[in-house]
Amino acid sequence: MILIFGGTTEGRLAVEVCEQAGKPYYYSTKGESQQVEMEAGIRLTGAMTAEDIASFCRSKEIRCIIDAAHPFAENLHQAIAEAGLPVIRLGRNLGRHMEGVEYCHDYADAVERLRRESPRRLLALTGVNSIARLKEYWLEHPTIFRILNRVESLAVADDAGFPRAYLIYYREDGELPSMEEEKDLMQHLGCDALLTKQSGGQGGFEAKVSAALQLDMKVFVIEAPRLPDTWQVVTGRHGLRRAIEHLVPDFFPLRTGLTTGACATAATKAAVLSLLRREVPSEVDLSLPDGEIISVPVSVEGEGVASVVKDFSDDPDVTRGCRITSHVAYSPADRHGVTFLQGRGVGRVTLPGLGIPVGEPAINPTPREMITREVRALTSADVDVVLSVEGGEELAERTFNSRVGVVGGISIIGTSGIVSPFSNEAFVESIGRELEVARAMGLSEVGLVSGKRGEEALLAEEPSLRVIHYGNFVGEALCKASQLGFRRVVLGVMIGKAVKLAEGHLDTHSHKVLMNRSFLTQLATEAGVADAAERIARITMARELYACMPEPFFSRIKELCLAHCRTVFPRGKIEFRLICDKTA
pLDDT digits (tens, 9 = 90+) for 466-509: 999 888 889 999 999 999 999 999 999 988 889 889 998 887 55
Q: What does each C-alpha distance from 27 to 50, 65, 241, 550 come to in angstroms?
A: 16, 10, 16, 57
Which H, E and C letters describe 264-302, residue by residue? HHHHHHHHHHHHCCCCCCCEEEEECCCCCEEEEECEEEE
The pLDDT of residue 255 is 84
At position 155, the amino acid (one-letter code) is A
Q: What is the pLDDT of residues 52-71, one digit of tens each?
A: 999 999 999 999 999 999 88
Q: List helix spans (H) across 379-473.
A: 392-396, 425-440, 452-461
Report whether pLDDT(77) > 90.
Answer: yes
Closest alpha carbon to 300 in 290, 308, 288? 308
Q: What is the pLDDT of residues 275-324, one digit of tens each?
A: 998 887 889 999 998 888 899 999 999 999 999 998 766 655 677 788 99
The pLDDT of residue 513 is 52
Report whether pLDDT(413) > 90.
Answer: no
* Average pLDDT over every residue of 558-569: 93
Mean pLDDT of the chain: 88
Report whether pLDDT(416) > 80.
Answer: yes
Give Cβ neighbours of residue 8 (< 8 Å, ≥ 6 apart).
68, 69, 70, 202
- Helices 551-566 and 517-526: crossing angle in degrees, nearest 10, is 120
Report whether pLDDT(201) > 60.
Answer: no
The pLDDT of residue 395 is 87
Rounded-to-integer distance, Cα 498 and Cα 490, Å: 14
- Helices 9-19 and 237-247: crossing angle in degrees, nearest 10, is 60
The pLDDT of residue 277 is 87
The pLDDT of residue 74 is 87
Mean pLDDT check: name the lowest of 14-23, 268-277, 573-582: 573-582
Give Cβ neighbours of residue 330 (< 8 Å, ≥ 6 apart).
275, 381, 382, 383, 384
Report whether pLDDT(340) > 60.
Answer: yes
Report whether pLDDT(510) > 50.
Answer: no
* Average pLDDT over every residue of 39-63: 92
Give 103-112's long-range contacts (Cβ < 8 A, gap of 24+): 103/198, 103/221, 103/222, 103/223, 104/220, 104/221, 104/222, 104/223, 105/222, 105/223, 106/222, 106/223, 106/225, 107/133, 107/134, 107/222, 109/222, 110/134, 110/195, 110/220, 110/222, 111/136, 111/137
Q: What does each C-alpha distance from 573 to 485, 488, 565 come to in angstroms?
A: 11, 5, 11
Report whether pLDDT(106) > 50.
Answer: yes
Report whether pLDDT(206) > 80.
Answer: yes
* Contact by Cβ (8 Å): 289, 417: yes
* Contact by Cβ (8 Å): 27, 38: yes
Report whether pLDDT(581) > 70.
Answer: no
Higher pLDDT, 454 or 308: 308
Higher pLDDT, 291 or 240: 240
pTM check: above 0.75 = no
Q: Which span out of 289-298, 411-420, 532-541 was modeled with the highest average pLDDT? A: 289-298
* Average pLDDT over every residue of 372-390: 95
Higher pLDDT, 573 or 35: 573
The pLDDT of residue 539 is 79
The pLDDT of residue 98 is 75
What the chain holds in terms of domains, given with CATH numbers, is: 2-93+228-247 (3.40.50.720), 101-222 (3.40.50.2000), 257-419 (3.30.2110.10), 443-579 (no CATH)
At position 112, the amino acid (one-letter code) is E
Report the share of the chain in percent with pLDDT over 90: 58
Rounded-to-integer distance, Cα 445 and Cα 552, Å: 29
